[in-house]
Structure 1
Amino acid sequence: MKVRRPAGPDGTLEPVRTWVEFSEGSGAPRVVAHAERELPPGGIPAYLAARGSGARSFVLWAGEDRRERVATLVTASAASGVATFQVLGPQGELIGTFVREKALRGRGLRTRWTVTQAGGPAAVGFKGRIFWWCVWWPLWPVQALIVLASLLGGGGDVARGPRRIIWRVDGRARLEFRSGGDRLLLHAPETDWRLGAALLVLLRAFDSPLGEPWDAAKQ
């Protein structure tokens, strides 16, 4: 694999601006990975064009110096609202896979995420609880007016749609994404932390238009 490293105006590497912190219990969080887009031959324009179809690709570095890969996420397929991603280790070994089925395009009214660690069972989760979606959707016309007012300089905060996801296997919770603080909880101790880190970064890359997807920058 070939790594493309963006350079700053003086020819030096730009700092990695997105990172993942990990903590156990009440312990202090520590940075375990730094995320950076893996750009195709066409650079940022090509990445953003592919992004529109649901494709994503990024590297998790052990440090800001980009000397050691922790994991790499690649898009195996992306079409008709369904995208499949693979998480690969430093030697190209498979760590796990993610499947994202967009709401109303896949098998339900909510976006469905399937997480499978290599050699393990598939854990399925849905974005947001049905109850909160039923509360949020009737308010969307009001939210649209707030967005318009914000664009016209009037300010205002928009309530984002429900984002919490709990992945389960046979009724047992294995992973949980909490929108407050954008945290991912690893309930199953056998979960590879690299898979969890890649999932968290990927979820942030699919943030809603009302949010700030970290990989959508045009430079």
Structure 2
Amino acid sequence: MSGVLTMNPVPRDTTGRAAGTDGPPAPVGRVINLRDERDGLRTVAHVERDLPPGGIPEYLAARRSGVRSFVLWADPDRRQRLATLVTVSVNDGVGTYRVLGDRGEPIGTLVREKALSGRGLRTRWTVTQPGCPEAVGYKGRIFWWYVWWLLLPVQTVVATLALLSGSGDVARGPRRIVWRAGGEAPLEFRSDKDELHLHAPWCDWRVGAALVALVPTFEGWLGHPWDDKKK
């Protein structure tokens, strides 16, 4: 399908419920919105970490090696599961993640190959869906990476001053990703608003929703990954 996916936090539950407190669990705190020409803007999923038996501490420990696990719910109270993202393997800078449907069936595979891990100078993302062409995208354009590296000495000074003063900002590396499959570009991640554009009608929005949740978790030390919170 065609459309634009974004992930956004929702206001805190008005009852004041929070994870780990007595009583019913708090509703899911992040939503996936889809905007298209037919239905306009609407919420299509509620996303949260799928915690292992050891809870948040175990998730954060595994996260450092590249492991990720999310659940996409149809509602904020977790009554219906739409999809699940699980980690298949993480080795030598290459992470493979599978997206499962509501019945546990595989609906897509996402592979992230870290920059300089053997495939080139840029991080490589591969998206596959059953019966669809493989789509490959690279993080940032080469030209803007050259510009960013040329400005790195200046950014290092800015970062040092920001740490000392507690203010200021540092330019992040190029983050836009355009996936190619044959002669078309079915997917595009626009970093200015963290939007995932679905350009091809064969794109499964559930796979796109998992992807728009996954990509920001690899933001590095300059970013603010949503899944690294301690509570």
TM-score, scaled relative to structure 1? 0.93
Partner of 1:189: 201
Which of residues 139, 153, 163 in structure 2 aligns to 1:151? 163
What are the superposed Cα offsets for residues 68-99 of structure 1, whole Å, 9 maximum, x if unpaired?
A: 11100000000110000000001000110001
Partner of 1:35: 47
**In structure 1, what is the Cα distance between the partners aligned to 2:230 and 2:181?**
38
Give the C-alpha shift of residue 192 in structure 1: 0.7
CA RMSD of aligned residues (A): 1.5
Give the C-alpha shift of residue 155 in structure 1: 1.2
**In structure 2, what is the Cα distance between the partners aligned to 1:169 and 1:34?**
29
Give the C-alpha shift of residue 154 in structure 1: 4.3
Give the C-alpha shift of residue 27 in structure 1: 5.6
**In structure 2, what is the Cα distance between the partners aligned to 1:205 and 1:119?**
28
| Structure 1 spans left out of the alignment, 5+ residues | 1-5
Partner of 1:3: none
The worse-fitting range, judged by mean Cα deviation, of 113-122 and 129-138 is 113-122
Partner of 1:121: 133
Q: How does 1:86-101 map to 2 (within 5 A)?
A: 86-101=98-113
What are the superposed Cα offsets for residues 93-125 of structure 1, whole Å, 9 maximum, x if unpaired?
A: 011000100000130100000000122221000
| Structure 2 spans left out of the alignment, 5+ residues | 1-17
Partner of 1:48: 60
Which of residues 162, 170, 183 in structure 1 aligns to 2:182? 170
Report the residue type matching 1:13 in the other structure: P
**In structure 2, what is the Cα distance between the partners aligned to 1:171 and 1:124?**
12
Report the residue type matching 2:134 in the other structure: A
**In structure 2, what is the Cα distance between the partners aligned to 1:121 and 1:19?**
28
Confirm or deny that 1:135 pairs with 2:147: yes
Give the C-alpha shift of residue 28 in structure 1: 3.4
Which of residues 75, 91, 98 in structure 2 aligns to 1:79? 91
**In structure 2, what is the Cα distance between the partners aligned to 1:63 and 1:13?**
14
Give the number of equivalent residue pairs: 214
**8 Å contact 2:132–2:202 — kept in the other structure?**
no
Partner of 1:66: 78
**In structure 2, what is the Cα distance between the partners aligned to 1:114 and 1:56?**
16
TM-score, scaled relative to structure 2? 0.88
**In structure 1, what is the Cα distance between the partners aligned to 2:29 and 2:170?**
25
**In structure 2, what is the Cα distance between the partners aligned to 1:213 and 1:49?**
15
**In structure 1, what is the Cα distance between the partners aligned to 2:208 and 2:52?**
24
Which of residues 1, 12, 15 in structure 1 aligns to 2:24? 12
